[in-house]
Every structure is written in C-alpha cells, then in structure tokens.
Amino acid sequence: MVVGMQSVAVSRSLEIDAAPSKVLEILEDPDQLPRWAPGFAREVRQEGEVWIAAHPLGFDLPFTLRVNREHGTADVIVSETPPRGAYLRALATGTGCHLTLTIVVPAADGVDEAGQVDVAEAELRAIAELAA
C-alpha cells in the first residue's frame, strides 16, 4: 500500500570527457562542493568528524561524504532515514565517463520538481567543467 510520497528524486546523466578517477577526485574533496553545488553549500567546514555545509539560505546543514572509487560512487548524504542528499555514479565509457546524479529531497508543499531537474543538470555541467 502506498501511503504517500515522502521524497522527490530527480536523476540526470551527462557523458563527459574525463575519466571516472578524475571525477571522483573532485567529488571526494568536500572543499570542491561549493564549486559544483553552490545551491547546497556556500562553503564547507569540518567539525570533528562531521562536515557542515553553510547553505545559501543562511543555515548550516551537516552531511556525510561517502566515496567508493572501486564502484565509482560518491554520495553527499544529508539524512540516512529517510534518505536525502545527492548520489553520484561515474561509469567509464572508454573515452571519458557517464556521470549520473540523483538528488533526493523531502516532498513538501511547493517542491519544484522542474527546479530540481535544473539543479541536477547545472551540477553535472559544473562537475564536467571542473574535471576538464
């Protein structure tokens, strides 16, 4: 039985001219986050073992960064239960990689799914530029 949507997930992909290892090098560096996800973080700092994103709307957002080079994945996790954050996968294409980004946000009144698509596409383009 479906109770109702608790989250909205938007996925987009982009083929880029960079090896998965180069892409993951960017994604595993929290200091790069404001460069490819400026709508999520103006700046990033570490407090103990927790990373904190200074959100553009003026609040701090703790997150976990998980990168698995073997699997080509990088996750910026805001919440485990329910899952929230950005989930990325870089798959080798022979000449570069196919980069997929899934953004999962709370389903709330006024969540603009089209706006989330725009965010995902802009973030993918920014990562591609950084990896070039």
Could you tell me the CATH number of the domain that includes residue 29?
Answer: 3.30.530.20
**Tokens 């699997």, residue?**
71
pLDDT tens track for 22-78: 999 999 999 999 999 999 999 999 998 889 999 999 999 999 999 999 999 999 999
Residue scoring higher pLDDT (94 or 80) = 94
User: Is 94 among the domain residues?
Assistant: yes
Range of the domain at 112: 7-37+65-131
**What's the whole-model pTM score?**
0.89
Residues 32-51 as b or e (16 or more Cβ within 10 Å = b): bbbebbeebbeebeeeeeeb
Q: What is the per-residue pLDDT for 1? A: 40
- Give the angle 15-18-22 at the CA atoms, nearest 5°: 130
What pLDDT, on the 0 to 100 scale, is given for residue 61? 93
Residue 105 lies in a domain: yes
**Helix (H), strand (E) at residue 123:** helix 113-131
User: Would you place residue 131 in the very low, low, confident or very high pLDDT band (cuts 50, 70, 90)?
Assistant: very high
